[in-house]
Amino acid sequence: MKEFSHNRQEEVGQMFDDIAYRYDFLNHFLSFGIDRLWRRKAVKTLPKQFDSPAIIDIATGTGDLAIEAMSLEPCRISGLDISEKMLELAAGKIKKRGYSEKIELLKGSSESIPFSDRIFDIAMVAFGVRNFSDPLKGLSEMGRVLKKGGVIMVLEFSKPSLFMLKHLYVFYFLNVLPLIGRLFSGHRKAYRYLPESVLQFPEGDSFLELMRKAGFRELKKKPLSGGIATVYTGMK
Mean pLDDT of 187-211: 83
Residue 93 three-state SS: helix
Prediction pTM value: 0.88
- Structural domains in the chain plus CATH codes: 2-235 (3.40.50.150)
Rounded to an integer, what distance in angstroms lies between the CA atom of residue 105 and that of residue 185? 25
> Where is pLDDT greater, at 6 or 177?
177
Q: What is the pLDDT of residues 144-163, one digit of tens each?
A: 999 999 999 999 988 888 77
Distance CA 89, CA 146 (A): 27
**Residue 116 DSSP symbol:** -
Strands 217-224 and 229-235: antiparallel
Distance of alpha carbon 51 from alpha carbon 34, whole angstroms: 29
The continuous run of DSSP H or E covering 38 comes out as helix 34-44
